[in-house]
Structure 1
């Protein structure tokens, strides 16, 4: 079976990077303005320059996808709508989006503008792609956490295009689900301003960890490199392969784009094509944190992580053989070539090579096997490895590739030079665009030397630094004629201008003006604000009911295998008039859906399901006639997002914890909105098992607890739950679901939990506590206040629920007599010195 070569999609975080991508063979580029873009720290483009960048790409037959992939606040909707209209009219080939509200706007008002859904939407199953297809989405950028089998499964179930990252930096968290930068420093990754806390040092500790791990970069992944796995992705039917790097240097974009272009070009004659040793070295030296193939074969454990350094490692240059503190130099025996101008790293210090000696002779370069000496700021022990992190020769050659126009569009030129007629020049491309130019003056007879055909062809073919190249020139001319060079040049120039205009006009659209966007709330009837509580299992259900909760969410992980006890708890809740919803996992891949439905089918009297995202709503509403609520990982920031989810059938929606109370008040009218008021806010969910990767785990990579046991390559039978050594689980000697944590350099401790699929969940260092803000929350139009009680034991669930229930009742009965300080002091006794109000009063950037 012959497979189509996928599109090569490269980053363009600056005008120079745009040129680097285009000139080195990108089929498409992705770029953004300095607003509504997930790389707010990149150089980016203002709106006028962005339109020019789109034209630059289109002139060279390169597609331009524009990133509008942040969450948008309600007060920004009008501005983003005008921006989308502008992009649609100008001819952007697609917009890459994250916000479900923006998807709603595009689907309803701008159907001509193609939609690509960003990896920020965490698309990780067939239900997600099916939903997107029904919404008119053209392409989904799949989550990086999928293995090749899962990509194949999704491909077989959808007709929309699939895009996969193949190279560059990786997030440890599922993209779009990370709140860590936001809660630590107010800089939201969902708004384009991630401060990259995953690249900071943390120590691992806990009462079940045998020994505290010294501070390392525990959350810092290696860089993705799938240059040797392109055949697998091509055979899986991936439509586009994507290079990460809008914040990288243009030289990086040039080298990586050229490498993947060359590999793809070889694939037609070599179906096993991968990077050559020289290409791999180029990829390594231009930038790497060590390389990984990511999750393509499942969680690779510790091999996913770059725990020793979060920055560029380059390549091994050699090892220190000695140092001279007096001269402040070191000597190194080389394993690779070095040149003056290169950058090196030894230990945790780097420098640029300005001087280089071999013996007593100054040199400009040296080869592997030789010993060189160069200035270095301090003495360093012999045997210390030295890495080359900047290759001046490679960078210089990369710059040459985009400093001048090299990528040309082939055109056919037809010239008619007939005596007594204007000079006619036609210039046509493969898309059917033809620029025609006719001279104002007529062609005259030659008085002396007539113009020959070769001379005319030479002059017409001078396309210079334009983006055109004459592939064929056809001339019909009289023999005895004279044409001034100025007439030829003018006709050629006008033909170029005309075909350029026509080529760009072909991209333009008439999308119209949307005007004012108005929300369409379901007009939920006013009701008394209720208290909901999320708990870990059946015991928590009893405690929440006794404490006065009106609705209980119980995590399905605490139910699976314990369905009879859960049914009993549901019956008890119903006797008290309390609704019980089942909360699904944050991530449910295709192969995990059967376990979910099997558990749900064993439950009796469930009142509803709390889904983590739109994919779960789409999947479950076809199977169960139950109310469906949506949790905060759905990232609802605006009324359009609320409209999107209510349109899917959501009865209640928990808004993003990154919104302030004022921002919630802007969007609450007419909707059944819930917000978090108490508990541990999840900051990350990762496919990687943090503890298992450090402490080792005998579950085969990418498998569950029912895996086969393999010893020395031989299958020895099935692995039962009792046989599994999971250092992250309670009862083991090495860890625990809530028995471990990570500590940052400032001393803040973040609890860590691992779920039944070995995913890592990291929670905020401080307990959210808003009991003193109940009046403001209710006035903001919030219909349900939620306690996140998954980490509480039954006693704590009951106590915290009762305290909030009493506070809400007291305020609603007599607002003027409500004294929030009484309840706050009682809450502080439960959680001394460890409360935060989150973003409800400070917001995010």
Structure 2
């Protein structure tokens, strides 16, 4: 195995590519001018002619070239994406690095036999996700940087897929693929290569019972990753490809970094029994880094020590929060009757977080109820499956249909809970599951119940939907990052699509306990502050990003405004939405009942071919004084487009 180790380097130009190859990289990853995760800096991407030269050069040097095709793609981009993939295949690149499973579907349909590597943005956290990808033609997974050594080893032991891991460079504090903060705040999506780095802004902490600093601090600014001291442990855990971050780094810096890791891996290969990391090499890496280093999640959960809280070594970013504008009465659009004359049978789905919410929704005549298993400590309730079973038995094969939603994040250490859920489901009356990761999907797929996807899988095009439908999924939750124009184009593909039309939007999920960070505490000395406090991060405009904590102590950071697509319900129905969903798990019972009543009336009016009443929208504006937003859906809307 030691002779099969790969040192994988980034390159943003031909000069850098030659430099890292000469410094000892076994393979190089890079992006073209389209469809990759560095779209804000096009000068660090390769033209088609440069790609051809890069392939020729690296293959002459007996090295490999991997091309990043790792964006989230919209329906309108698929035709051009297919042509681009075919051109790359003709160049004989050695692999595609992929975030959107729609790329795999395009490759399958067009007979492109290029190896597929699952991007870190795909959020591969557990062995079942790896097994599903392996079964669907992927040869390698780039694991997230939120796994321990033991979890990495388990994924390697229980699968045959290649394991790649980042060992050096900048880190995101958010779980991979689950950050919408840049997308919602600036309309520039981190999942589409245009992140504006809101995790590198300063925030103030509010709402803590025990005080804490009121000074602006860099609560989300994680230190850089450096795993130079732990290469031997990573090899033992099963990592075979060691990846350096930094396609925008200078050739000099990359030459130094690649050289240090090359020498270490060579010494490991030549004399593994006597290998020791060299203190001088580590010192050189530290002296040439802007930020301090951390070891990610290899040995512990991310904590305050992994954050550059004071910002002393944080580079300046020319981005900042914007003052948000909320929806108002003038945002209610009345569609032309002739445009929407055909009544549509759109279902209404409601998400709840406890048995009380379930009981209330059973009396509301909604079509589907989703019970989320991402219970939050602040609500001080947690679903007990044994208490749920009698309710399900009483409604077996009745209306509404009842689904359980798996957590947004399921790492290897969490996966046993999904297996237990499947065992419980075998004797329950549950109608189905809503899954947010590929691992939960792989475990729970069965002919005995329906499978839907949640927003965690971020589906934005029909090819991604087809990939999931081929795994047994019956209904797709559409990405929150889609504009009205893209939504119309997507729904024209006649997908079984559900649209989230109301509720708080999770902007980021992180393992970091922000409360303990603010209180200068350690994770081992938990104050349980989250059980009574109402914490929030405040940006420079005083806009509050509420923080909720689940029972695994993960933090969920919410956008200041709630999503509301009530003004657009009639268009969604006319375009073919199968169902619309209210995310009501954070609403008190009285508020949830009011919101559901408003939407239920609107859905009934739509089914009857009537115009939706503006009064419902006015009531929603009154119920949510902190502001409602259409988010990405309405920020680009144009009447001529969406009609």
Q: TM-score, normalised by structure 1?
A: 0.68
Task: Provide Cα deviations, 1:187-214, integer angstroms capped at 9, x if missing partner.
Answer: 0011110011100001111154534542
Q: How far apart, in 2, do the equivalents of 1:309 and 1:698 lie? A: 20
- Give the conservation status (yes or no) of the 8 Å contact 1:659–1:843: no
- Give the conservation status (yes or no) of the 8 Å contact 1:541–1:554: yes
Residues 494-573 of structure 1 aligned to structure 2 (within 5 Å) = 528-558=345-375, 562-570=384-392
Task: Provide Cα deviations, 1:767-824, integer angstroms capped at 9, x if missing partner.
Answer: 11121211111122111111111211111111111111011112322424x33x2111
The structure richer in helix per residue is 2
Q: How far apart, in 2, do the equivalents of 1:139 and 1:597 lie? A: 24
Compared CA separation, residues 97 and 602, structure 1 to 2 (3 A) = closer
Q: Which residue of 2 aligns with 1:673?
A: 497
Q: How far apart, in 2, do the equivalents of 1:794 and 1:189 lie? A: 35
- Give the conservation status (yes or no) of the 8 Å contact 2:212–2:518: no
Compared CA separation, residues 203 and 573, structure 1 to 2 (3 A) = farther
Which residue, out of 627, 650, 655, partners 2:473?
650
- Give the conservation status (yes or no) of the 8 Å contact 2:130–2:155: yes
Which residue, out of 290, 293, 296, partners 2:292?
290
Residues 705-720 of structure 1 aligned to structure 2 (within 5 Å) = none
- Give the conservation status (yes or no) of the 8 Å contact 1:66–1:92: yes
Q: Which residue of 2 aligns with 1:618?
A: 442
Task: Provide Cα deviations, 1:533-558, integer angstroms capped at 9, x if missing partner.
Answer: 11111111123333442111111244
Compared CA separation, residues 815 and 561, structure 1 to 2 (3 A) = closer
Does residue 223 (structure 1) correspond to residue 224 (structure 2)? The answer is yes
Which residue, out of 762, 773, 776, partners 2:557?
762
Which residue, out of 562, 569, 578, partners 2:400?
578
Q: Which residue of 1 aligns with 2:630?
A: 837
Deviation at 1:265, TM superposition (A): 1.1
- Give the conservation status (yes or no) of the 8 Å contact 1:128–1:614: yes
Deviation at 1:573, TM superposition (A): 5.8
Q: Which residue of 1 aligns with 2:19?
A: 20
SS in 2 for 1:242: strand
Q: Which has the higher contact order (CA 8 A, sep 6+)?
A: 2
Compared CA separation, residues 635 and 228, structure 1 to 2 (3 A) = same
Deviation at 1:667, TM superposition (A): 2.4
Q: Which residue of 1 aligns with 2:30?
A: 31
Task: Provide Cα deviations, 1:626-669, integer angstroms capped at 9, x if missing partner.
Answer: 11110122121111111111111111110111112322222224
- Give the conservation status (yes or no) of the 8 Å contact 2:302–2:511: no
SS in 1 for 2:556: strand
- Give the conservation status (yes or no) of the 8 Å contact 2:208–2:529: no
- Give the conservation status (yes or no) of the 8 Å contact 2:373–2:383: no
Which range moved further: 533-542 or 602-611? 602-611
Residues 241-280 of structure 1 aligned to structure 2 (within 5 Å) = 241-267=242-268, 268-271=270-273, 273-280=275-282
Does residue 824 (structure 1) correspond to residue 625 (structure 2)? The answer is no
Task: Provide Cα deviations, 1:88-140, integer angstroms capped at 9, x if missing partner.
Answer: 11110111011111111123323421111100100010101101111111111
- Give the conservation status (yes or no) of the 8 Å contact 1:683–1:762: yes
Which range moved further: 231-240 or 201-210? 201-210
Q: Which residue of 2 aligns with 1:729?
A: 530
Compared CA separation, residues 774 and 561, structure 1 to 2 (3 A) = closer
- Give the conservation status (yes or no) of the 8 Å contact 2:7–2:25: yes
Does residue 595 (structure 1) correspond to residue 421 (structure 2)? The answer is no
Structure 2, unaligned runs of 5 or more: 318-342, 376-380, 638-643
Task: Provide Cα deviations, 1:7-29, integer angstroms capped at 9, x if missing partner.
Answer: 00011022232122112110001
Compared CA separation, residues 610 and 527, structure 1 to 2 (3 A) = farther
Does residue 636 (structure 1) correspond to residue 637 (structure 2)? The answer is no
Task: Provide Cα deviations, 1:388-447, integer angstroms capped at 9, x if missing partner.
Answer: xxxxxxxxxxxxxxxxxxxxxxxxxxxxxxxxxxxxxxxxxxxxxxxxxxxxxxxxxxxx
Q: How far apart, in 2, do the equivalents of 1:730 and 1:611 lie? A: 27
Q: How far apart, in 2, do the equivalents of 1:19 and 1:312 lie? A: 30
Compared CA separation, residues 687 and 109, structure 1 to 2 (3 A) = farther
- Give the conservation status (yes or no) of the 8 Å contact 1:205–1:212: no
SS in 2 for 1:675: strand
Does residue 607 (structure 1) correspond to residue 431 (structure 2)? The answer is yes
Larger gyration radius, structure 1 or structure 2: 1
Q: How far apart, in 1, do the equivalents of 2:511 and 2:600 lie? A: 36
Compared CA separation, residues 575 and 55, structure 1 to 2 (3 A) = closer
- Give the conservation status (yes or no) of the 8 Å contact 1:222–1:288: no
Does residue 210 (structure 1) correspond to residue 211 (structure 2)? The answer is yes
- Give the conservation status (yes or no) of the 8 Å contact 2:477–2:497: yes
Q: How far apart, in 2, do the equivalents of 1:687 and 1:225 lie? A: 19
SS in 2 for 1:159: coil
Q: How far apart, in 1, do the equivalents of 2:445 and 2:5 lie? A: 34
Residues 168-187 of structure 1 aligned to structure 2 (within 5 Å) = 168-187=169-188
Q: How far apart, in 1, do the equivalents of 2:213 and 2:393 lie? A: 44
Residues 450-461 of structure 1 aligned to structure 2 (within 5 Å) = none
Does residue 785 (structure 1) correspond to residue 584 (structure 2)? The answer is no
Compared CA separation, residues 769 and 310, structure 1 to 2 (3 A) = farther
Q: How far apart, in 1, do the equivalents of 2:424 and 2:58 lie? A: 56
Q: How far apart, in 2, do the equivalents of 1:37 and 1:215 lie? A: 33
SS in 1 for 2:635: coil
- Give the conservation status (yes or no) of the 8 Å contact 1:231–1:271: no
The structure richer in strand per residue is 1
Deviation at 1:595, TM superposition (A): 2.6
Q: How far apart, in 2, do the equivalents of 1:553 and 1:191 lie? A: 29
Q: How far apart, in 2, do the equivalents of 1:647 and 1:209 lie? A: 51
Residues 114-129 of structure 1 aligned to structure 2 (within 5 Å) = 114-129=115-130
- Give the conservation status (yes or no) of the 8 Å contact 1:661–1:776: no
Task: Provide Cα deviations, 1:250-302, integer angstroms capped at 9, x if missing partner.
Answer: 22211111110111111122446454232222212222311000100121411
Structure 1, unaligned runs of 5 or more: 314-347, 350-525, 701-723
Compared CA separation, residues 86 and 311, structure 1 to 2 (3 A) = farther
Q: How many residues align?
A: 601
SS in 2 for 1:204: strand
Task: Provide Cα deviations, 1:574-629, integer angstroms capped at 9, x if missing partner.
Answer: 6972111001101112332223343554563111111002221112126x721111
